[in-house]
Structure 1
Amino acid sequence: MSNELWFRTPAPDWFEALPIGNGHLGAKVFGRVPDERIALNLDDVWSGAGPRKLQVTDGPEVLADVRRLLLEEGDQYAATERTRALQGPLVESYQPLGDLLITSPGEAEDYRRSLDLRTGIVSVDYTRAGVRFHRESFVSTPDQVMVWTIEASEPGTIDLDLVLTSQHPVQVAGLGDTFTMVGHAPSDLTIEYRTSADPIRYEEGRGIGFGVALRAFATGGSVSVKDAGVRVRGADQLTVVLSAASTFAGWSVAPGSDPTAALREATALLDAADLDKLRERHLDDHTALYDRAELTLGTPVDLPTDERIRAVAAGGEDPDLSALIFAFGRYLLMASSRPGTQAANLQGIWNEDRRPMWASDWTNNINTQMNYWPADVTGLRECFDPFTSLMDGLAESGSETARVLYDAPGWVSHHNSDIWMASWPVGDGGDDPVWAMAATCGVWLSAHLMEHYRFHPDLEYLRDKAYPVLAGAAEFVLSMVVEDREGRLQFIPSTAPEHHFVLPSGQKASVDLTTTYDIWVLRELFGNVLQAEDALGLSSELAARIRAAGPRLPEISVAADGRMMEWPTDWQPSEPDHRHQSHLYGLYPGSEIDPARTPEWASAVRASLAVRTGGRPPGGWTSAWLIALWGRLFEPEKAAAVIRDYTSRLVSGNLLHRDGDIFQIDANFGLTAGIAELLIQSHTDVIRLLPSLPTAWADGSYRGLRARGGLTFDVSWSAGELTGATVTADQAGTFRISALGGKAVEVTLAAGQKRELTAEFGER
């Protein structure tokens, strides 16, 4: 299989630069020769000066008004507008850190730029004046530094200058053998979609401070460090080591005001780094994680990645490019989410703008969740840890939001969050409730903790991490449901995320009685709590309340034309081809809908998708969701068509999602998860191998894909027929497994057992 992205030219812009990172420190490498730029990010450098206090004083009264308007007056428009009074401050924005600029004389020939996904190393090779040069860049997780090296085929031919710059106010200095930069992020910033006469504000002593430290080590020649930068002359080879730190001390406290404290931390990382072992330690860490899973499709194509993309756009088939997209998503998650770091945000860890699109925040009505769809199924268990930590913060912050806004126990998280753990509806009254008023985002987020447990059955994790968060979400939901005239329990306020409906008056509204999306996630939450208690041997009063409330939730409704309804009334949608597929949650990422078990619901999903996909072409993360939905419906050709369309329209030459000037990384992660869904499914009582295999993928194999229950599978096929299937069990159990839609076989495994299954699937 291909594990490399490569190009014949440097990156023309930030989008096309190649990403490296360790979850904390990120970089985009342009690969320019005379004027190299490496754009830097640090996961905890955001705008803002500390946690904010929610100023809403009449939340319970507003909630009572909304309930009355819906239950008694049936006035969805007035209810929608009334929820604006629940909005708190807008989120702060993820920030760039700075740039490492490297200048050297002369133009390059015979140029090649590459990213080896398996090693996590960006390489640049070129010839200048008859001398061959080789550059490498990587960010080490074990040593928490970025490393840039250059070597030459002739001694004494490396001449260059290095300097650090930033969009933020900074001071640079040469301190002995170390070049340094200190500064701080804005103390307050106006989100990009709002206008302001002074949108980026810096205040002395407020805001997250940062320090960056750099050292250059040459063989031969000379290195001098001045306040103007680092000068290297006549070297045989050179290694540059860079580290960074911030004054962020946790979401609930104001950061330290002295960036020199961050600089001391960064310098200590340089002091601790063993120059001779940096590359080896990086490779050992990176390859051990990356090699857990592998996908091979068709025959590798030895062409530059951007040329392969253009060939697919012209109508060509390139199954190996789909495998490369799959691998790239895994690589990006490894680079932007590691134990101890912040969770991957809307752009992962890479951002060049002080006012990035949608704040480069955590958008919790699909995007944050999609970032972590591929983690467990593709063997990246550790990369899920930051999501668990994010949930801990949101649950703590959200308990105060639940109390202030709704006089409710438990915890709540709405549409947007940031490093200060905003959990309220954002907008200060000025944002549309269609996205701001999404009170079940925390419910959806919590489902991922239970899914993580299903892939990795660990009772300690379930007891200490997942269950408390699930229980808190359930406490909130049970306090929020109210009885309607028919005796059903309605969750109010409820929305179909980011989608308006049109009332007979022509007004657009978004808040209603319990939407289909909310029914799915509430039912899933209740089931998750009950399953967790069963696994933990608990029998709580909370579980008894759930058992009483669950059957009283509204039923899932199907419209007269066979579509799955989105709202409790079959309102006219403002956008029939809307990007969110939230009412289809029960199919994916939920598990209630299945063509084999619930054919009526599956038919309703198909009817809904016929409308949803009948208009404008989908965007990036919408495409990823569609791939997973078609996979669960056993429609591999429709899924493959979406992959081809996405590859043709919605990626940069480096495979990062790009829609015009918009970069969101969730599409990359979602593509990886969607591709996995075509190859293995384990959300029902049958584990399905190759359930939705496209005809263009007639030959291939995968290794290390995981199923719920703690199983790992290696599978191969040729001409669309199974040629090999092996399973390894984390723990003992009996499992039902099928291949290519054939008859399920029952397999009993001991803990740690590896078993060949190919012969058992002979009868189909």
Structure 2
Amino acid sequence: MKKIFLTIIIACIISCQSNKEVEDRLVLSNFSDSAASNWRDALISGNGEMGIMVYGNPSEEKIIFNHELLYEYIGTETIEPPFVGDIMPEVKQLIKNSQYQEAKTKILELAKTRGYQDILWTDPYHPACVLNFNQDFKGAVLDYQRLLNYENGEVTVNWLADNVDYTRTSFVSRPDKVIATKIISSKASTINVSFDLTHQFDTEQSAQAKESGIEQNVKMLFPDRLDELNNPLVEKPEISLDKNWITFRSKYQLVDRGYEVIVKIKNVGGTLTNAKGIISVENADSVEVLAKVIPIEPYSKSELLDAKAAIENLPSYDVLLSRHSNVHGEMFNRVSLHLDKTGFLDGSNETLIASQKTDEEINPYLLEKVFNMGIYGLISSSGENPPNLMGIWNGSWRPRWSGDFTLDANINLQIAAANLANQKEAIDSYMTLLERIAPDWEVNAKHLFGCRGYVSGTRTSGRRNFHTHFGQWPGNYWTAGVEWLLLPCYEYYQCTGDKEFMLNRLYPMMKKTALFYEDFLDTYDDDGTYLIGPSYSPENKAILPNGDRLGAVANATMDIAVIRELLTNLITLNKELDLRDEKVGLWKNILEKLPSYLINEDGALKEWARKDLGENYNHRHISHLYPVWPGLEISPENKALFDASNVAIEKRGRGNGSAHGLAHTALIATRLKKADLVYGNLLFLMKNDYLYNSLVTSHNPGIIYNTDALHSIPAVILEMLVFSKPGVIEFLPALSEKLQKGSVSGVLCRTQAKLEHLEWDMTGKTMMAKVSSGKKQDIKFQLRKPILEVKVNGEVVNVDGDTFKVTFNVAEVKDIIIKWK
């Protein structure tokens, strides 16, 4: 029955739309033709604040509830870093003399005498609970399918049994802040289903996917309480039933904090009963479920009554979905990608993933769906916080690396597509996180370095960001974090020209970051330039002259790059906005004294700008190429450094195969115009078990649920199609000839301009673009190909090599056509 119905629908679509329009609709969703037995294959939905993971089978389905603020309290949150800033002059002298190990040891020994024990982990992200469905029906299951609609965030599960179509749909509403589920069937009085809430514990969690450091911290901090503490550190939940309502309350053991979940079940037709923690519905025509997850502090301050009243006043599922679709759909459709799919086949997620493993060309159906999934995930996990290591979705307690916000590459990759894809809400959530944790950055600077200003920690659960994740791992040496964290916000200003955002929110934070370097840079190397030390290039180790490897050294190229970038941007802002800051002269003086980048005997840009420090090429992090990406400093116009950066990326190994390293490398490759490397890394991610059946990505092949790659792949694709910086837009900078035809729309550019539409044909050697400008300006356009002709609004324009200039007025839109040899 259902197959015939679906065939009729598809036939109608094909008869009414072009092939391209049909393809576009198909890739705006993903579907699976098999049930998910593991939460990692669950289909996901979210509104930034709450997330759900839908998995199971027709008879037994589960919806895991997540909330962006739920982190298991383990006692490390408020521990400040030790005060070791008073020995920095001595430490810097040791570093200057290349006594790197001695300097590191001196800091750690003093830290221990002042109460610091060892590396501290962040509070781990965890699921709230799971809503269990048990649905009875007659007959065998046929035509099972589950589907995720990117445009409205709705997860659909449907099947046929005994000639009855059954459908369950779920989503998380952004405007109404509620989780909603609906169960329907094609025949009256056939829905029989029961519901209960339990903690979501992952009994199959592998050792590789679990963070062992958390248990070590608990033992270290609470040695006298181990017998009374649970694992995890949460008390037995309070579960109550009242007619058609279920409530679930859970308290953390070590803090007066917890969370509540409230669920309302409404049946149309049939009967509803409750007993022994279960609500049962029999012989219903339809059932609707509404739910909320509510963090509370103190635990005694319940918000259940208010939540119940809010849910009581909500309209039907269909009205809620319509409201949500209007908001979510507008956000999702701001940017779009279409790839030519000639010669390729679409299919279920499982089919696409399996076939891609044996194909040496990227299936554009799969790549386009992953691109859309990345934009969808970014939107759905941006609320009061940006995406953490898991986005907003998690089915286990104590996930690897706490599932936190890791600030030395991961969060930076998670947010990389936000500006290009015009997701201002994601940038606001990201900036809100930074503003919340920034007060701790001043404590870090004072305690660890004896300086004013800002120094970020390397990890945070979103509440605090003390720089305490160090021990033998030298995270305390890292000072470059704040500028990398602030750069997406500066990029937002470049894309939008939002002066209020810049002056009221970002500029004061940039100045406090510069204040740190004003104090910190007080030691000179033998060549008269600043010695930058302590210094660390995440998360690599330099090779010392004696062959030892050490991360705690000096003059990390990343440090030089971020200082140069920060101060240059501050000076630029003062000129653009006529700020007349009294420190402009000081900033210019610091820039003149920064050490130069170095190129090693292999011709590669060195990771540490000291001659006595050797390279470790095989590593997942690529911190020293910061001035290539995300920075804008190194470009083809600076040939020596550009060539050295190309050598550096060619020599870089994949390290442990981390997905974020592959995505990071691809982003750098887009700036280095290395189309083959960009395509190769995308293909590697598509075919080597980095995709779960949900199209969410893993950290390593087949293990560790992680959205670093998911959310950064859209940035890779957008950067390979268009590069921009103030006054410049470059078309197709790193596009492989294998992606012969396609189009992209809605890309913001870092010159207050928007690429309304770009369409390319590599075989026909033509491209068309529509560009709008948010201000009056001249934009230099570039296409690194032998250009035959350029037309702007139908008129031929002069070309200078591979560039041409176009003048825009405010809000003006111009059409550009380029042909090349």
Check whether TM > 0.5: yes
CA distance in 2, matches of 1:483, 1:64: 8
CA distance in 1, matches of 2:334, 2:244: 40
- 1:442 matched residue in structure 2: 482
Output one character per residue of 1:551-574: Cα deviation in whole Å (capped at 9) or x when no partner. Answer: 101001001220111113356768
- 1:333 matched residue in structure 2: 378
CA distance in 2, matches of 1:546, 1:36: 60
- 1:250 matched residue in structure 2: none
- 1:95 matched residue in structure 2: 126
CA distance in 1, matches of 2:457, 2:181: 41
> Which residue identity lines up with residue 171 of structure 1 in the other structure?
E
> Mapping of 1:257-656 within 5 angstroms?
257-258=299-300, 261-275=302-316, 277-299=319-341, 301-317=345-361, 318-338=363-383, 341-427=384-470, 430-433=471-474, 435-484=475-524, 485-570=526-611, 575-595=616-636, 597-613=637-653, 618-649=657-688, 650-656=690-696
Match of 1:219 among 268, 279, 290: 268
CA distance in 2, matches of 1:380, 1:225: 44
CA offset at residue 606 of structure 1?
Answer: 1.8
- Quickly say closer, same or farther: Cα 1:386–1:361, change in 2 above 3 A: same
- 1:752 matched residue in structure 2: 811
- Quickly say closer, same or farther: Cα 1:723–1:30, change in 2 above 3 A: same
Contact 1:495 1:512 in 2 (8 A): yes
Contact 2:250 2:260 in 1 (8 A): yes
Extract unaligned runs of 5+ from structure 2: 1-23, 201-233, 788-801
Contact 1:46 1:419 in 2 (8 A): no
CA offset at residue 208 of structure 1?
Answer: 2.8
Contact 2:728 2:751 in 1 (8 A): no
Contact 2:79 2:466 in 1 (8 A): no
CA distance in 1, matches of 2:165, 2:388: 39
- 2:43 matched residue in structure 1: 18
Match of 2:98 among 65, 70, 74: 74
CA distance in 2, matches of 1:3, 1:549: 50
**TM-score, length basis structure 2:** 0.85
CA offset at residue 693 of structure 1?
Answer: 1.6
Contact 2:406 2:459 in 1 (8 A): yes
- 1:139 matched residue in structure 2: 172
**In the alignment, structure 1 residue 9 sits paired with structure 2 residue 34:** yes
CA offset at residue 744 of structure 1?
Answer: 2.3
Output one character per residue of 1:346-373: Cα deviation in whole Å (capped at 9) or x when no partner. Answer: 1111122221110111111111111110
CA offset at residue 95 of structure 1?
Answer: 1.8
Contact 1:412 1:423 in 2 (8 A): no
> Which residue identity lines up with residue 456 of structure 2 in the other structure?
S
Contact 1:477 1:491 in 2 (8 A): no
CA offset at residue 47 of structure 1?
Answer: 2.1
> Mapping of 1:11-90 within 5 angstroms?
11-48=36-73, 52-56=77-81, 58-71=83-96, 73-84=97-108, 85=110, 89-90=120-121
- 1:676 matched residue in structure 2: 718
- Quickly say closer, same or farther: Cα 1:460–1:55, change in 2 above 3 A: closer
Contact 2:744 2:759 in 1 (8 A): yes
* 2:691 counterpart SS class: coil
CA offset at residue 450 of structure 1?
Answer: 0.9
CA offset at residue 64 of structure 1?
Answer: 3.0
- Quickly say closer, same or farther: Cα 1:135–1:306, change in 2 above 3 A: same
CA distance in 2, matches of 1:469, 1:508: 35
Output one character per residue of 1:486-506: Cα deviation in whole Å (capped at 9) or x when no partner. Answer: 321222211111111232334
* 2:540 counterpart SS class: coil
Contact 2:29 2:147 in 1 (8 A): yes
CA offset at residue 164 of structure 1?
Answer: 1.0
Contact 2:754 2:773 in 1 (8 A): yes
CA offset at residue 324 of structure 1?
Answer: 1.6
Match of 1:735 among 756, 775, 779: 779
> Which residue identity lines up with residue 256 of structure 1 in the other structure?
P
CA offset at residue 265 of structure 1?
Answer: 4.4
Match of 2:248 among 178, 181, 187: 181
- Quickly say closer, same or farther: Cα 1:636–1:723, change in 2 above 3 A: same
> Which residue identity lines up with residue 739 of structure 2 in the other structure?
W
Contact 2:270 2:281 in 1 (8 A): yes
CA offset at residue 719 of structure 1?
Answer: 4.0
Output one character per residue of 1:738-762: Cα deviation in whole Å (capped at 9) or x when no partner. Answer: 346453222222222222122xx34
**In the alignment, structure 1 residue 667 sits paired with structure 2 residue 706:** no
CA distance in 2, matches of 1:116, 1:105: 26
- Quickly say closer, same or farther: Cα 1:102–1:436, change in 2 above 3 A: farther
Alpha-carbon RMSD across the aligned residues, in angstroms, is 2.1
Contact 2:76 2:123 in 1 (8 A): no
* 1:224 counterpart SS class: strand
- 1:127 matched residue in structure 2: 160
CA offset at residue 224 of structure 1?
Answer: 2.8
- 1:172 matched residue in structure 2: 239
CA offset at residue 702 of structure 1?
Answer: 0.9
**TM-score, length basis structure 1:** 0.91
> Which residue identity lines up with residue 548 of structure 1 in the other structure?
N
The answer to which of 442-451 and 397-406 deviates more is 397-406
* 2:136 counterpart SS class: coil
Extract unaligned runs of 5+ from structure 1: 187-201, 248-254
CA distance in 2, matches of 1:223, 1:401: 56
Output one character per residue of 1:637-675: Cα deviation in whole Å (capped at 9) or x when no partner. Answer: 221111111111122122211223212211111111111
Contact 1:42 1:96 in 2 (8 A): yes
Contact 1:172 1:227 in 2 (8 A): no
CA offset at residue 60 of structure 1?
Answer: 1.6
CA distance in 2, matches of 1:99, 1:65: 55
Identity, % of aligned positions: 24
CA offset at residue 14 of structure 1?
Answer: 1.4
CA distance in 1, matches of 2:612, 2:367: 38
CA distance in 1, matches of 2:31, 2:388: 26
The answer to which of 706-715 and 527-536 deviates more is 527-536
Contact 2:766 2:819 in 1 (8 A): no
Contact 2:38 2:56 in 1 (8 A): no
CA distance in 1, matches of 2:515, 2:313: 47
The answer to which of 528-537 and 631-640 deviates more is 528-537
Output one character per residue of 1:361-403: Cα deviation in whole Å (capped at 9) or x when no partner. Answer: 1111111111110001012111111111111123212112222
CA distance in 2, matches of 1:542, 1:289: 40
CA distance in 2, matches of 1:166, 1:62: 48
* 2:158 counterpart SS class: strand
CA distance in 1, matches of 2:247, 2:380: 24
Report the count of equivalent residues. 728
CA distance in 1, matches of 2:329, 2:81: 50
> Which residue identity lines up with residue 104 of structure 1 in the other structure?
Q
- 1:104 matched residue in structure 2: 135
CA offset at residue 3 of structure 1?
Answer: 1.3
CA distance in 2, matches of 1:647, 1:57: 44
* 1:712 counterpart SS class: strand
Match of 1:161 among 178, 189, 194: 194
